[in-house]
Amino acid sequence: MSDVQVIRKNTTGQYIYFDAFNEITGEDVTGDAANMTTKKISLDNAASGSLTNNVAELDSDDQDGVYYIELTQSESNCDAGNIRIESTTANVKVTRARFNTVPNFEDGSMDVDWNTLTITPSSGSGITVTSGSSGSPAVIFTGHTSGAGLELAGGTSGDGLTVIGGVTAGNGITISANSGDGIDITPGTNQHGIYSRGNGTGSGLKLEAGTSGSGLESAGSSGGAAIKLTGNSGNGLEITASANTHCISLSAGPVGSAGISYSSNTPGETDLLLMVNATVDTAISDYLGTDGDGLTAVPWNSSWDAEVESEVTDSLVAHNLDHLSLTPVASNADMTTEVPDGTILSNIMTKTGDTSDFVSTTDSLEGIANATTSGTLGAGAISWTYTVTNSATGLGLADVDVWVTSDTAGLNILASGRTNQNGQVTFNLDAGTVYVWKNKSGWNDDQGTYDTETVS
């Protein structure tokens, strides 16, 4: 291509086109984009530099031999440019590409000094302006001295200005003041300064306070109301609070001022607070019920978990219950501080109810188990088994208490135990004569007498 191409200046996403052909046969060359590795550009007759992007083929079927390359924004920042592409394929010739640029009115700015500008469209909008980047205004109007920056006059029945918000979250209009008023509205005779009507479920007017500013501040003039609300078959004012917020928050000013000042020409309506109180009382009664019976299915607040846990922990500590499985006792030798004498637990631990009598080495569950295993069954050198039988059946009798003494009076107990399911119990005794005693509730067989046995 030898024609000079025209692109927008200093703009990304633009393409320069060129041809590739066989310099011997003169035929178009296709499929050679990967071999076009030499890519040079000169801007405004300056020294050449390498192009950033790679060459691509336009369409090898319908546009034989046509290739293109995309320029970066900086590669189009000139008045004129020259591009040279070379292929490593033998006999392939690539035409030079030249281009000129024009100002980019879409992304740039245009300064025009007009005394009067009149735009009369045949149909549709007279002028449409789109801002160039996020956060930048599309149009800025600045008044001169006492003149308005922008004056809008409605038609016979048309609006002077129609403002539509963004598709998702953008405001239709945002007004911020510098040192003067953000907006000053003076209505005509018997006309509204602002007439706002909601559409569908949308609000006619939505006011939202800033971090420390008011959503609406209104001061009435002499004889005039700061805000006048009149319903037309509906509410003059309807306020609905969102979660954890107030419908209305009232704060009185200096001494002598009131959060609400109310007067009425209707007989009996002399005290707004009485009206408010009656309304609030009714609302509370309807919600809570007479005795709080309306408080059902109250949702649990996860932040209460820590409070409840703290109170429960304090109660456990106050009653020494934390020592059961969390907090160690002060001394294993005497646990009276944690278990006072005479309590149920102290009577379980000792037969006197005196906690200081408790000896952990012998009175604990482990100590009792050890004594049962090593001491009660005897400490002799001979393992000796004794069998108790039912005299009627001749079968072994289980769960019979058996103890062995060294005397016929039954005072010196050498060992004791209980028979198993076979009626047997095994003792550890030394050789010699012993006296065996036995007892089972509900049985009278030989109870109260001893049996003389020889251990060998």
Q: What is the pLDDT of residues 99-155, one digit of tens each?
A: 999 988 665 544 444 455 566 665 555 566 666 566 667 677 777 677 777 777 777
Asked, for residue 215, whether it belongs to a domain, the answer is no
Asked, for residue 226, whether it belongs to a domain, the answer is no
Q: Are residues 359 and 415 in the same domain?
A: no
- CATH code of the domain covering residue 29: 2.60.40
Q: Are residues 346 and 393 in the same domain?
A: no
Task: Check residue 370 and give its pLDDT.
Answer: 57
- CATH code of the domain covering residue 418: 2.60.40.1120
Asked, for residue 222, whether it belongs to a domain, the answer is no
Please indicate whether residue 240 or residue 406 has the higher confidence score (pLDDT): 406
Residue 351, C-beta contacts closer than 8 angstroms, at least 6 positions apart: 357
Domain end position, chosen among 102, 121, 145:
102
CB crowding 267-276: b at 16 or more within 10 Å, else e: eeeeeeeeee
Asked, for residue 399, whether it belongs to a domain, the answer is yes
pLDDT at residue 307 is higher than 80? yes
Cα 113 to its chain centre, rounded Å, is: 54
Q: Are residues 98 and 13 in the same domain?
A: yes
- Alpha-carbon Rg for the chain, nearest whole angstrom, is 52
Quote the domain boundaries for residue 340. Answer: 320-363
Q: Are residues 411 and 333 in the same domain?
A: no
Q: Are residues 351 and 434 in the same domain?
A: no
Cα 110 to its chain centre, rounded Å, is: 47
pLDDT classification of 451: cutoffs 50, 70, 90: very high
Task: Check residue 112 and give its pLDDT.
Answer: 46
Task: Check residue 260 and give its pLDDT.
Answer: 52
Beta bridge partners of 389: 396
Q: How many domains does the chain have?
A: 3
Determine phi and psi for 383, rounding to 5 degrees.
-85, 115
Closest C-alpha to 18, from 57, 53, 61: 57
Do residues 29 and 65 touch, judged by C-beta distance below 8 A? yes
Residue 205, C-beta contacts closer than 8 angstroms, at least 6 positions apart: 194, 196
- Which token pair is 279? 């309304």
Asked, for residue 189, whether it belongs to a domain, the answer is no
Q: Exposed (0-12), middle (13-18) or buried (19+): which is 442, by Cβ within 10 Å?
A: exposed
Asked, for residue 37, whether it belongs to a domain, the answer is yes
Instruction: Tell me the pLDDT tens digit for each residue of 259-289.
Output: 555 555 554 444 555 656 666 677 677 767 7
Q: Are residues 338 and 392 in the same domain?
A: no
Percent of the chain whose pLDDT exceeds 90: 35
CB crowding 110-146: b at 16 or more within 10 Å, else e: eeeeeeeeeeeeeeeeeeeeeeeeeeeeeeeeeeeee
- Provide the mean pLDDT of the chain: 78
Task: Check residue 373 and give its pLDDT.
Answer: 47
Asked, for residue 54, whether it belongs to a domain, the answer is yes
Q: Are residues 383 and 358 in the same domain?
A: no
Residue 340, C-beta contacts closer than 8 angstroms, at least 6 positions apart: 346, 355
Asked, for residue 20, whether it belongs to a domain, the answer is yes
Domain end position, chosen among 309, 340, 363:
363
Instruction: Tell me the pLDDT tens digit for each residue of 158-217.
Output: 777 777 766 666 676 776 656 666 677 777 776 777 777 777 767 777 767 666 667 667
Q: Are residues 352 and 430 in the same domain?
A: no
Separation CA 139–CA 420 (nearest Å): 103
Q: Are residues 46 and 89 in the same domain?
A: yes
Q: Are residues 380 and 351 in the same domain?
A: no
Instruction: Tell me the pLDDT tens digit for each residue of 322-369.
Output: 878 788 988 888 988 899 999 988 888 887 889 888 887 767 777 666
DSSP-derived pairing of the beta strands 97-102 and 4-8: parallel
Domain end position, chosen among 39, 70, 102:
102
Q: Are residues 96 and 11 in the same domain?
A: yes
Q: Are residues 341 and 399 in the same domain?
A: no
